Amino acid sequence: MLKRTSYDVVVIGAGVVGAACAYYAARAGLRVAVVDRGPVAGGTTGAGEGNLLVSDKEPGPELDLALLSTELWRELADSLGEQVEYEAKGGLVVASGAAGLDALNRFAVEQRRVGVEAVAVDGAELRELEPHLAEGLPGGVLYPQDAQVQPALAAAQLLRASGADRYLGEAVTALRRGADGSIAGVVTERRELAAPAVVNAAGTWGGAVAELAGVRLPVLPRRGFVLVTEPLPRVVRRKVYAADYVADVASGSADLQSSAVVEGTPAGPVLIGASRERVGFDRTLRVEVLRRLAAQAVALFPVLGTVAVQRAYRGFRPYLPDHLPAIGQDVRVPGLYHACGHEGAGIGLAPATGLLIGRQLAGEDVGFDLSPFRPERFEGADEGSAGSGPGAE
Amino acid sequence: MVNSRSERVGYDLAVIGAGPAGLAAADAAAGLGLRVALVDAGSRLGGQYYRHPAPELGAARPDRLHHGWRTFEWLRERLAAAPLVDYLPGHHVWAAERGADGWTLQATRGPEGGDRVAVEARAVLLATGAYERQLPFPGWTLPGVVSAGGAQAMLKSGLVLPGRRIVVAGSGPLLLAAASSLTAAGARVPAIVEATGYLGYARGLPVLAGNPGKLAEGADHARRLLRHGVRLRLRSAVVEAHGSDRVTGVTVARLDARWKPVPGTERRIACDALAVGHGLVPQIDLAVELGADTVTTADGTAALRVDAQQRTTVPGLWAAGETCGVGGADLALAEGVLAAYSVAQRPAPAKELAARRRRRAFAALMAAAHAPGPDWTGWVTDDTDVCRCEEVPARAVREAVTELGAADARTVKLLTRAGMGWCQGRMCGPAVACLSGGPLGRPDSRPLSCPVPLAQLAEQDGSSELSE
Amino acid sequence: MDPLELVGAEPGSARSILFDGRAVAALPGQTLAAALWADGVVAWRVTRVGGRPRGAFCGIGQCFDCLATVNGRPNQRLCLVPAEDGDVVTTQEGHGHGELAV
């Protein structure tokens, strides 16, 4: 028999975004449950590197969200810092040639206008900042606001701190609706949870949860691989990446993009991240993807060439056609909120997403323009636009 | 058979692993006209079972450390004379990729992994054997505490012992074999500590009757051990190893039916080494990464699901021997032959079909008899490092479960680093799965099945060998 | 009885390796781990978190507990590396890459 329990809100998804939604909703005084078909951090969160980046974002709504999140992560670090391995290490974006450096500096000028700290760095300073960087690089930009957390710990600790009831390992099978069509609760494989509000924080599977509510949200997967080296001393101090990364993040192409993001971790291994492919949920390894990441990392840090790659892991970033997440109340279904589609920036954007969702849930003034993130913005859009063909975006 | 040829393309079959299954498969496949690459991480033919001293050690009687040595010599001679088989020793395969025309195996070569080699073949047989299952206990990371299989391996190949007075403990038939070799080689074995009561075997008398060789092998070990005055302590476990920089003794306790140590039964045994293990775990990373289906065997380990022709659920990928469930060398030999016939699209030979049927039944009996009891975690104190590589104590694993909501090995790994180190969870995986309360069995997929130097991974052309 | 006697081994003359500055004999065909065991040495690594001694555990290259620095290269599995005359084996501290620290 199904057990029945009542909450103010049920969050679907125990990744970092769901955990942050639970955390801020609970702080707003709401009684919260979190449901996930898998464990905590079982999806994209557990396959991430923990990037909290402003450096890779152009001025616009996502950067605004990232700047707010940067502040919130700093606050959270006061209580959870060590438990989530928070490091305010800064990011260093490196250009490979003069033209690239010009473009990078122009990008930084725009970013500074909206509050990003960005410090131009010449070739000599690069090697002072990162002694193992390859010789002959013309320069780059240092972003002191970039930071890092261990993503699975971040999700688990936020979830614990929220005090929310956890229902893990239970898939949501249906959403209950009232006579007026508004949300009334969630049905899982094992129980029914009554609640007037549901937050869809199901990440890559957010489209499927939206479908349970009868609405369309075209979340799709973008595959990524991360290489992990053997444990090392601090060899790389910051998050270091090539300027091409910014173009890759924004790219609409289905083809493989990769530009190594290289960073150390408190535990020792160096992470080399950021391949991007649109291949659906195909898990098949492509050695060429790993090869490119490895080659780019060695190009940045030749000293890593003799170091062993101990393992690699893959994940699927949830993206929406315009590369912005869906955040906020869905006008099509009263009581339904979305917090998904953060692509590769979910760890960084989680606190801001959670805070704003929490305010909406509590009926407070949101104090932030959520209109670019409206979940129903794809309504009426050509179905094909969610696909991977040319001109998709 | 040719060593280290530069040509690495155009094989009909790549056999990964040169133990009993791989040797039998390569021999049978060559006999059926297939061109075979026999790719092995080890430096000599034989795998772990037929592990033997390097020729430079000049061992006149390597058979004294072996059962079935003649079979190995026979296979070795046949393979040496088989022009269709290329033997590639010292090759650690780290990935298998399937293209339009078949497989490409990526391997690093040599213990230092300096060179990258690509091997192309139409079909792949996974004959990678198994490694030992460990159930941690306080003190198991002390020098002088070694795996039972490790003590065997070091003795068989290096002709060395980890100490003079060696307690052998854990569960499974390997314990008797290890103790028998160790005593024959001059070690004193004050006790064999076996967690089960061997009663499990009694439930399978018809199976035992069908496997007289297995009984004879067991009786042979028992005779040798009796002669050396080795004491067999059943339904007992080593619950602690003592010492500061090296093991100096162990505490053994009786276990109840659920493997919970019985208070008051502790007894200390002095020793300078402990050889410990709880059966074997199939080595199936490459296949799991490719998405092959697995089954959970009666002792809780994951093995590959294969059909009557030894085909996994991945097209073009066969498996034989321990990868399909631990069952010993004779089973592996039979399955290797059966796999070769299937790859060659020939009807299976009756002799091997019958051998497989008998041996699989025995394997199932053995797995059930030695399955760890559910309460073994009772001897794991909070301070015990469960993960040897990352030095993660049981306390951290337990907190991840009770405080952070982890309920499976993968989540525990993400939250504690248990299983994230050099060995990639091979030593702690089964223990972490038990402590997390999650399902045993299917391991996490691993895009790289062994470490690869970054510069080698970055190489443009994996077949640079060809220019030699 | 000893293992060599058991299998009737007649190895060639021993090689010499240096372990933490001390000469240790290695029979031809033995791995570095085997040579050290024969010499009574069972630990040649110090762990990076707890600073604890470790040596060979699985003996077949799976557990990576037997890592040490060989001829200046860290993280070599001694159970796999054949002993060569003049090899210099050093007890490895932690990750073995201390020189890379910035």
Instruction: Annotate A99-161 with DSSP letters as a single string.
Output: HHHHHHHHHHHHHHHTT---EEEEHHHHHHH-TTSPTT--EEEEETT-EE--HHHHHHHHHHH
Q: How far apart are CA B25 and CA B390, in angstroms?
A: 38
pLDDT at position B87 is 96
Q: How far apart are CA B114 and CA A61, in angstroms?
A: 48
pLDDT at position A255 is 64
pLDDT in tens, B280-326: 999 999 999 999 999 999 988 999 999 999 999 999 999 999 999 99
Ordered alpha helix ranges (H), B172-327: 173-184, 199-202, 205-209, 212-227, 285-289
Mean pLDDT of B13-32: 98
pLDDT at position B425 is 93
pLDDT in tens, B210-259: 888 877 888 888 888 888 888 999 999 999 999 999 999 999 999 999 99
Task: Quote the tokens at residue B228.
Answer: 């050396």
Nearest of A156, A142, A167, A130 to residue A32 by alpha carbon: A167
- What residues does A263 pair with on adjacent strands? A271
Cα–Cα distance list, B49 to A368, B53, B352 (Å)? 67, 12, 19
AA letter at A305: G
AA letter at A187: V
For chain A, which residues score pLDDT lower than 70? 1-4, 245-258, 381-393
Q: How far apart are CA A24 and CA A76, in angstroms?
A: 11
In chain C, which residues have their Cβ closer than 8 Å to the Cβ of A236? 102
Angle CA B195–B196–B202, to nearest 5: 165
- Based on the number of CB atoms within 10 Å of its own CB, is B133 exposed (0-12), middle (13-18) or buried (19 or more)? buried
pLDDT in tens, A236-276: 999 999 887 666 666 666 666 667 899 999 999 999 987 88
pLDDT at position A282 is 84
Kindly determine whether residue B455 and residue A227, on different chains, have CB atoms separated by under 8 Å. no
DSSP annotation string for A52-92: E-STT--TTHHHHHHHHHHHHHHHHHHHHTTTTT-B---EE
pLDDT at position B333 is 98
Q: Is the pLDDT of residue B464 over 50?
A: no
pLDDT at position A388 is 37
Distance of CA B246 to the CA centre of its chain: 26
Residue B450 near residue A229 (C-beta atoms within 8 A) = no
In which region does residue B198 sit, left (phi positive, over 0), alpha (psi from -120 to 50) or beta (all else)?
left
Q: Is B79 on the interface with A (CB under 8 A)?
A: no
pLDDT in tens, B322-355: 999 999 999 999 999 999 999 999 999 999 999 9
Mean predicted lDDT score pLDDT of chain B = 92
Residues of chain C whose C-beta is under 8 A from some C-beta in A?
48, 75, 94-95, 97-98, 100-102
Per DSSP, which regions of C1-102 are E strands? 15-19, 22-26, 45-46, 53-54, 67-70, 73-77, 88-90, 92-93
Cα–Cα distance list, B84 to B1, B2, B10, B81, B316 (Å)? 7, 9, 12, 9, 20
Q: Is C83 strand, coil or helix?
A: coil
Crossing angle of helices A151-162 and A346-361, in 10° steps, is 20
Residues of chain A whose C-beta is under 8 A from some C-beta in B?
14, 39-42, 46, 152-153, 156-157, 159-160, 166, 168-169, 225, 227-231, 267, 272, 283-287, 290-291, 294-295, 297-298, 304-314
What is the interface size between B and C, counted as CB pairs within 8 Å? 170
Q: From A294, which residue of chain B is nearest by alpha-carbon distance?
A: B458
pLDDT at position A286 is 87
Q: How far apart are CA A376 and CA B256, in angstroms?
A: 61
pLDDT at position B465 is 40
pLDDT band with cut points at 50, 70 and 90 for residue B7: very low
Q: Which of A16, A291, A316 to mutate to test the interface with B (most CBs of B within 10 A)?
A: A291
pLDDT at position B109 is 87
pLDDT at position B88 is 95
Q: Which of B146, B152, B417 to mutate to test the interface with C (most CBs of C within 10 A)?
A: B146
Q: From A301, which residue of chain C is nearest by alpha-carbon distance?
A: C100
Nearest of B85, B89, B65, B88 to residue B77 by alpha carbon: B85
pLDDT band with cut points at 50, 70 and 90 for residue C84: very high
The model's pTM? 0.93
In chain A, which residues have their Cβ closer than 8 Å to the Cβ of B422? 230, 310
C74 φ, ψ (degrees, to nearest 5)? -75, 170
Q: Is the pLDDT of residue B4 over 80?
A: no
The Cα of A100 is separated from the nearest Cα of chain B by a number of Å equal to 23
Kindly determine whether residue C42 and residue B131, on different chains, have CB atoms separated by under 8 Å. no
Kindly determine whether residue A235 and residue C48, on different chains, have CB atoms separated by under 8 Å. no
Using CB atoms, pick whichever of B97, B407, B452 lies closest to residue A309.
B452
pLDDT at position A381 is 67
pLDDT band with cut points at 50, 70 and 90 for residue B113: low
ipTM > 0.90, yes or no: yes
Task: Quote the tokens at residue A186.
Answer: 């969630």
Q: How far apart are CA B341 and CA B348, in angstroms?
A: 6
pLDDT at position A275 is 82
Kindly determine whether residue C47 and residue B144, on different chains, have CB atoms separated by under 8 Å. no
Q: Is the pLDDT of residue B70 over 80?
A: yes
Kindly determine whether residue B458 and residue A314, on different chains, have CB atoms separated by under 8 Å. no
Kindly determine whether residue B147 and residue C12, on different chains, have CB atoms separated by under 8 Å. no
Mean pLDDT of B197-202: 77
Residue B410 near residue B339 (C-beta atoms within 8 A) = no
B345 φ, ψ (degrees, to nearest 5)? 55, 45
B77 or A4, which is more confident?
B77
Task: Quote the tokens at residue B100.
Answer: 């339009």
Other C-beta atoms within 10 Å of C5: how many? 13
Tokens 């009684």 locate to: A31
pLDDT at position B205 is 76
B287 φ, ψ (degrees, to nearest 5)? -75, -40
Kindly determine whether residue A308 and residue C48, on different chains, have CB atoms separated by under 8 Å. no
CB burial string B297-328: b at 16+ within 10 A, e below: bbbbbbbbbbeeebbbebebbbbbbbbbbbbb
Q: Which long-range contacts (CB under 8 A, 24 or more apart) does A176-181 make?
A: A177/A213, A177/A333, A180/A334, A181/A333, A181/A334
Using CB atoms, pick whichever of C48, C94, C100 lies closest to residue A303.
C100
Q: Is the pLDDT of residue C4 over 70?
A: yes
Q: How far apart are CA C41 and CA B437, in angstroms?
A: 38
A376 φ, ψ (degrees, to nearest 5)? -90, 10
Please give the torsion angle defined by the CA atoms of residues C84, C89, C94 and C100, in that order, rounded to the nearest 10 degrees.
-80
In chain C, which residues have their Cβ closer than 8 Å to the Cβ of A266? none
C-alpha gyration radius of chain B: 22
Q: How far apart are CA A373 and CA A377, in angstroms?
A: 8
Q: Is B275 strand, coil or helix?
A: strand
pLDDT in tens, B368-419: 999 999 999 999 999 999 999 999 999 999 999 999 989 899 999 999 999 9
Kindly determine whether residue A232 and residue C75, on different chains, have CB atoms separated by under 8 Å. no
Q: Is A295 strand, coil or helix?
A: helix
pLDDT at position B2 is 45
Q: Is A132 on the interface with C (CB under 8 A)?
A: yes
